Structure 1
Amino acid sequence: MMKKIKLTRANKSITLKALAPYYYQQRALGYGTQEIGKLILKIDSLPTDKKATFSTEEIFLMRSTINQLRNVQLAKGQYNDDVDDMLLKLI
């Protein structure tokens, strides 16, 4: 299943900020990072304020890593509404 999501500049930034640590963690553990790397490149190359199509797997990966970023920000007292806005777009 595919879903179209509009990525603002803030949403692109948040998503890339969430995916990068996961990419490096998986790489350090010796797991395959090709799919994550492709998703990072896809998001980075997309123009802002345009709708882009993502697969169910890509949505799941974005949702889980953004939720992890949200929890880290909450724990550090650095909560940002933009993270929740991006999570809502992925639901």
Structure 2
Amino acid sequence: MMRKIKLTKANKIITLKALAPYYYREKALGHGTQEVGKLILKIDSLPADKKATFSTEEIFLMRKTINRLRNERLAKGQYTDAADDMLLKLF
């Protein structure tokens, strides 16, 4: 199933910040990183404020990594509104 999501500049940044550590962690563990790498390139190449089509797997991966980033920031007492905004767009 495919879904269209509008990515603002801020949401693109927060999504890329969430995906990058996941990519490097998986690479260090010797797991496949091709799908994550493709998603990072796809998001990075999208113009801001345009709708893009994402698969269910891509959305699941974005949710998982953004939620992880949000929880890490909450544990440190940091600001999370941008991550919360992006998570709401993905639901």
Stretches of structure 1 that go unaligned for 5 or more consecutive residues are none
Partner of 1:90: 90
How far has the Cα of 1:84 moved from its partner?
Answer: 0.5
Residue 31 in structure 1 maps to residue 62 in structure 2 = no
TM-score normalised to structure 2 length = 0.98
Aligned partners of 1:39, 1:81: CA distance in 2, in Å? 23
Partner of 2:4: 4
How far has the Cα of 1:79 moved from its partner?
Answer: 2.3
Cα-to-partner distance string for 1:7-37 (whole Å, 9 max, x where unaligned): 0000000000000000000000000100000
Partner of 2:74: 74
Residue 13 in structure 1 maps to residue 13 in structure 2 = yes
Identity over aligned pairs, percent: 81
Letter in 2 for 1:22: Y
Aligned partners of 1:64, 1:25: CA distance in 2, in Å? 14
Letter in 2 for 1:63: R
TM-score normalised to structure 1 length = 0.98
Aligned partners of 2:79, 2:69: CA distance in 1, in Å? 10
Deviates more, 1:15-24 or 1:78-87: 78-87
Stretches of structure 2 that go unaligned for 5 or more consecutive residues are none
Deviates more, 1:30-39 or 1:79-88: 79-88
